[in-house]
Structure 1
Amino acid sequence: MTDCTRVTVTLDHEVVAGRNARADFRQDTYQHIPGSVLRGALAAVWIRERGTEITSSQSFLSAFEGDGSFGPLYSRTGYPVPLSVAVHKYAPGDDCQRRWWDRARGENATHCEQCSAPLEASKGKPQESVELIKRTMSELDAGGVAKDGQLFSQSAIAAKTRLSGWVFGDAVHGLAVGDEPIITVSLGSRRSLRGQVRLTTAEEVPEPLERRNDTDVVLRLASPAVFCDEFGFPVDTPDLTELANLLDVEVEPITDKWVRWDEAGGWHAASGLPKPTERAVAAGSTYLLRCDRAPTDDALRLLHARGIGLRRREGFGALYTAPEPVAEAACESS
């Protein structure tokens, strides 16, 4: 299998991966580390160690601008509850043991068979929340006095949190500068004050993607994905040719899908400019692929590590498998 590495970070300081700019002077944070944040932090180490001229070298371009993938880093139970999952609309009773029904697995119930309560579709929220802290700050004037109307608060992922994910292909070479592995990086905003994490790697391969049966495969998005048609317009389904080539099978047009639209942007720290805002398919979106024959486990591992769609090196199109017991417990607490 092509190069694939599992990356784990342990937060020495709190980390802010900002999201959802708001008008009430509050800033939320992702409860995971997007792949674009990991990519930018590793590139910053290269530039700090070798100078800005390294950005024009073949090794840098291959690692950070090539065909590899920087996946998001999640806690074990922090992945989104798939959009294909139905959960109790209201809090279930104590005697109700079942917590989710996955339509991608053919479970199409509208009411719980135990308590008869109605079900509703998952909104793609995290299965379980990581520990977050909130800090309230104020901008100061030259005399050190808080300015009127400049009070704001910010959420951050707490220190000691452990998160992990996959780096694939040429992107694996970005985990070391020359022969020296990168063991500490700074993630998120205000990196002079916080964001330091310890980074460990392991040469592993992910488990195969889920099968509904021998020939049907379930794809679940761990991060927003960018797909387009032959004219460059956004679409909500992956490219069948891409999937067929990766799995070495013929794939039928996708009719069973559970998706939501999202918008994904960001900030390019090196240039000090905003990244283009993409119309993307939201994390948690799920597809059922019907293949003409059974894909091999190695092909399903490859697809899991690589991801699908465009801008994968920036963390888009990452995939995951959803262990049922974790999601059931999450739905109970949601």
Structure 2
Amino acid sequence: MLLDVQVKAHQPLALGVRPAGTAPVQTQHHIPGSVLRGALAAAWIRDHGLPNKVPPQLRQEFVTLFESETVFGPLFATGSQIVPLSVRRCKYQRCAGIHPDDAFDDSSSPYCGSCGGPLTAGRGEVEFFGGTAGRLVVQRTHLEIHDKRQVASDGNLFTRRALTHQDSKGDERQFHGRIAAADDLPEAAARWLKQCRDLRLGGRRGTSGGVTYSAATASPRLPGTGERVALRLTAPAILTDTSGLPLDLADRDQLGEALRAELSCLLATRIVKVERVWARRERVGGWHAASNLPKPVELAVSAGSVLLLTFDEPPAPEALLALAGRGVGLRRNEGFGALETATSAWTPPSGSMAEDAPTGPEAMDPAESYARMLYLSGHSAWFIDQLRLYVEERAAGNPPHDALLERSRLRNLPGELRRDVQDLLLRTTPDTLDRTLARLAALHRLKTDEEQSS
């Protein structure tokens, strides 16, 4: 049984990720399935009591909902989506161009076909498309004042970031996702899942995280199928071999064997091989509220990773739909291993790119892309001085060269950034160079004015 879930946020959502040292606690830009599961489990306990203190029938309902095969998928805000690692995007600006998905597109050009800027691989992050995303993150500092010294107590001063609950129009954000439950889920448990209710999601639940939850039986569309199917992870997946050790993603034979063992009964067709893998790793854990203890930390494959599989014959669409509801790997009922299946190249949410994409001459102007690249390099003032001389040389008819890269300031540039600067110097026309210089100077001047005003 599949349920379509909708959540409307009324307060900022502190969906924290693992803190790094003394840096502010960051927030997710979506609602992970584990957060939804925890909030619903807390609501069930408020309705019925602690599982170990209720009648056996109710206890079994709790186990069926939260400790069995019920899978809570991630929720994404309207107009947002994870950009898969197999997709290459404009590095320094977002434009209306259709960018290649290496899983299904053989294009090897490193440049955007729309604006001419450099392309870089997706990072598996949630991005908002369209003109209504607005400000995404708010930051708050929390502290406890020492009574006698009237300063922050040691260890009690920290900054937390939260996802805003309103878009640029002032409307409350709505998040959408799915819950997949067993077909034999008891009727009482199914009714409870479908009830509209108020929940608290994430951290700082005393002052944030208020949402309205609703769910209804889904009417899913069958996905496309073929002999090549991509699995796009929408949540971290804990993939292990038969001994329980993390899989080596570079060993496609071992990965294929593990997937065959896990999915053969579900798909009813043989996985011939894992054709390609685009993946990152991360460590995932969590907190078990019932025992007040941390959950084990696992090495997982990050959300946004893509596994391209080849089959003997196309799997049945119903089997792929069931796979998308089930997920892959361990701890699926905790929100891990959620995925989507695809047989064609990734595209942004329908109609969203046109709303916020540059239009007119800027959409086709690589000068904007190069100017942002130089500005973000941290050497904008130096580049302004050096490019003025280089533009004069090119305008005088001298051939292009990249002697600028031999200067001591640029010798330690990262390889990808170095190639982008070399591309600017060697491939662009004098007119594009001149417009790049003008735009870079404007960006640098704006930054200087902001620093002086503050």
- TM-score normalised to structure 1 length: 0.86
Tell whether 2:349 aligns with 1:326: yes
Say whether the 8 Å CA contact 1:54–1:60 is kept in structure 2: no
1:209–1:318 CA distance, 2 compared to 1 (3 A): farther
Q: Which amino acid is 1:262 matched to?
A: E
The answer to which structure has the higher strand fraction is 1
State the Cα distance separating 1:203 from its structure 2 match.
0.8
1:261–1:207 CA distance, 2 compared to 1 (3 A): farther
| 1:144-223 equivalence runs, <5 A | 145-147=150-152, 150-159=156-165, 160-170=172-182, 181-209=195-223, 211=225, 214-223=226-235
Match of 1:128 in 2: 128
Q: Measure, in 2, the Cα distance between the counterparts of 1:144 and 1:268.
A: 36
State the Cα distance separating 1:270 from its structure 2 match.
1.8
State the Cα distance separating 1:19 from its structure 2 match.
0.4
Match of 2:104 in 1: 105
Match of 1:82 in 2: 84
118-127 or 262-271: which moved more? 118-127
Q: Measure, in 1, the Cα distance between the counterparts of 2:112 and 2:19.
A: 41
Match of 2:241 in 1: 229
Match of 1:309 in 2: 329
Find 2:304's aligned residue among 281, 284, 301: 284
1:325–1:33 CA distance, 2 compared to 1 (3 A): closer
Match of 1:46 in 2: 44
Match of 2:27 in 1: 29
SS of aligned partner of 1:41: helix
User: Unpaired segments of 5 or more residues in structure 1?
Assistant: none
Find 1:15's aligned residue among 9, 13, 16: 13
Say whether the 8 Å CA contact 2:90–2:112 is kept in structure 1: no
SS of aligned partner of 1:134: strand
Q: Which amino acid is 2:128 matched to?
A: E
1:42–1:179 CA distance, 2 compared to 1 (3 A): closer
Q: Measure, in 1, the Cα distance between the counterparts of 2:14 and 2:193.
A: 30
SS of aligned partner of 1:191: coil
Q: Which amino acid is 2:32 matched to?
A: P
State the Cα distance separating 1:154 from its structure 2 match.
1.2
Q: Measure, in 2, the Cα distance between the counterparts of 1:179 and 1:190.
A: 25
1:120–1:152 CA distance, 2 compared to 1 (3 A): same
Say whether the 8 Å CA contact 2:232–2:306 is kept in structure 1: yes
Q: Measure, in 1, the Cα distance between the counterparts of 2:43 and 2:10.
A: 17
Q: Which amino acid is 1:72 matched to?
A: P
1:144–1:294 CA distance, 2 compared to 1 (3 A): farther
1:23–1:76 CA distance, 2 compared to 1 (3 A): same
The structure whose RCO (Cα within 8 Å, separation 6+) is larger is 1
The answer to which structure has the higher helix fraction is 2
> Based on CA coordinates, which of the two structures has the bigger radius of gyration?
2
1:274–1:118 CA distance, 2 compared to 1 (3 A): same
Q: Deviations over 1:280-299 (max 9, x none)?
A: 00000011121111222222
Say whether the 8 Å CA contact 1:25–1:151 is kept in structure 2: no
Q: Measure, in 2, the Cα distance between the counterparts of 1:62 and 1:279.
A: 27
Match of 1:68 in 2: 70
Percent of aligned positions with the same letter in both sequences?
35
Q: Measure, in 2, the Cα distance between the counterparts of 1:197 and 1:116.
A: 43
State the Cα distance separating 1:265 from its structure 2 match.
0.9
1:55–1:223 CA distance, 2 compared to 1 (3 A): farther
- TM-score normalised to structure 2 length: 0.65
SS of aligned partner of 2:26: strand
User: Unpaired segments of 5 or more residues in structure 2?
Assistant: 166-171, 250-254, 359-368, 370-454
Equivalent residues, number: 327
Q: Measure, in 2, the Cα distance between the counterparts of 1:55 and 1:230.
A: 38
The RMSD of aligned alpha carbons is: 3.1
1:175–1:145 CA distance, 2 compared to 1 (3 A): farther
SS of aligned partner of 1:165: strand
55-64 or 311-320: which moved more? 55-64
State the Cα distance separating 1:107 from its structure 2 match.
2.9
State the Cα distance separating 1:189 from its structure 2 match.
1.1
State the Cα distance separating 1:15 from its structure 2 match.
1.4
Q: Deviations over 1:129-187 (max 9, x none)?
A: 85222212222234794416643221112222211111111497797675982511111
Q: Which amino acid is 2:330 matched to?
A: L
SS of aligned partner of 1:253: strand
